[in-house]
Amino acid sequence: RGGLDAGQLAEFESILECLQRPDATPQQRQHAQRFALSLQNPVDLSTLPPGGDPVSRRQAAVAKRLAQLQHVLDHSTSHTAQVVACNSLTALATSHWDNSTLPHIEIRNYALSFLFAQSATPTVPVYVSRAMTRLLSRITKLGWLENEVHRGVMKQMERFFDASARHYATGLLLLHDLVEEMDLPATNRRGVILRRQFLLQTLNQAFARAIDTLMRISSMADPEQAAILGDAALQLAIRCLSFDFVSQ
């Protein structure tokens, strides 16, 4: 997939770990910060094989960076590297969105599978899952108007709601984050259309899920699970009601 070899991955992790290491020197930390910021951009064109028109080379540079970041998510054991890769993917997809060439469905499916697996057996800190949730919401938003797969988010959430209580809580949190993402102020006509479509097609379904959950928790046998689901459902309901309906 054009990712990183073992040596490159180890170097990648070593640099980024300086962001968290208390014994890192100021110079090491600054270098790590610059390196982390560079990951939000395509690879340098000079690292690509010669030839091709400027547009194709630019697309290749974006694709290579995406492959590197996905490789980190697939193979790194460094939580710092994982969260930086998530945040960089979000920034890269946002600034270089291309519905036809960006593998947004692949990224979205990866994020969903990652979060589903973490709900069953957590292996990463909450902040890594949070970064992955943000990536999922951003990709869903960017592809909403052009791709029906992204608009089918409520159907895709059913796998979470049909599994364990932990998965159910994760599904509610994912919907909360998506509502938050969709409620960001629109800066152009496309954004206005997107917000209106989400409001008409999906927001009421998310709110209905929250209310249905609140009605069902009273009959749950486990009070701890009921409390967790009740809190997540209440937060989702409040966020849905706080949506900016006026700016549509």
Model confidence band, residue 59 (pLDDT cutoffs 50, 70, 90):
confident
Provide the angle, in degrees to the nearest 10, between the axes of the packed helices 204-216 and 165-182.
150
Q: What pLDDT is recorded for position 64?
A: 86
Same domain flag for 178 and 239: yes
Rounding to the nearest 10 degrees, give the CA dihedral for residues 195, 196, 201, 207: 60
Same domain flag for 149 and 248: yes
Q: What pLDDT is recorded for position 2?
A: 54
Tokens standing for residue 176 = 């909360």
- Helix or strand run (H / E) with residue 5: none
Q: Is the pLDDT of residue 1 over 70?
A: no
Q: What pLDDT is recorded for position 8?
A: 84
Contact 36, 92 (CB under 8 A): no
Same domain flag for 95 and 158: no
Q: Is the pLDDT of residue 4 over 90?
A: no
Domain assignment present for 107? no
- Over pLDDT 90: what percentage of the chain? 57
Query: How far lies 123's CA from each of 120, 129, 232, in Å?
Result: 10, 10, 21
Q: Is the pLDDT of residue 48 over 90?
A: no
Same domain flag for 65 and 159: no
Tell me which residue range forms the domain holding 67.
Answer: 1-102
SS3 label, residue 157: helix
Domain assignment present for 119? no
Residue where a domain stops, chosen among 72, 102, 132: 102
Same domain flag for 91 and 159: no
Q: What pLDDT is recorded for position 28?
A: 92
Q: Please name the residues in contact with 88: beta carbons below 8 A apart, sequence gap of 6 or more.
A: 36, 39, 40, 65, 69
Q: Please name the residues in contact with 201: beta carbons below 8 A apart, sequence gap of 6 or more.
A: 151
Q: Is the pLDDT of residue 106 over 90?
A: no
Domain assignment present for 90? yes
> How many domains is the chain built from?
2
Model pTM score: 0.88
Domain assignment present for 139? no
Residue where a domain stops, chosen among 102, 131, 156: 102
CA-atom Rg of the chain in angstroms: 20
Q: What pLDDT is recorded for position 231?
A: 97
Convert the pLDDT of each residue in 151-194 to its tens digit: 999 999 999 999 999 999 999 999 999 999 999 998 889 999 99
Domain assignment present for 62? yes
* Average pLDDT over all residues of the chain: 90
Q: What pLDDT is recorded for position 245?
A: 86
Q: What pLDDT is recorded for position 145?
A: 92
**Which amino acid is located at 215 in the chain?**
M
Mark out the alpha helices in the chain (DSSP H runs): 6-17, 26-38, 54-75, 79-95, 104-120, 126-143, 148-151, 153-161, 165-182, 189-198, 204-216, 223-241
Q: What is the DSSP string of 117-162?
A: HHHHS--S-HHHHHHHHHHHHHHHHHHTTT-HHHHTHHHHHHHHHT
Query: How far lies 72's CA from each of 97, 139, 179, in Å?
Result: 21, 19, 28
Q: What pLDDT is recorded for position 99?
A: 66
**From 49-63, 84-98, 105-119, 120-134, the region with the lowest mean pLDDT:** 49-63
Q: Is the pLDDT of residue 127 over 80?
A: yes
Same domain flag for 8 and 65: yes
What span, in angstroms and rounded, lies between the C-alpha atoms of 89 and 68? 10
Residue where a domain stops, chosen among 102, 121, 153: 102
Q: Is the pLDDT of residue 248 over 80?
A: no
Domain assignment present for 118? no
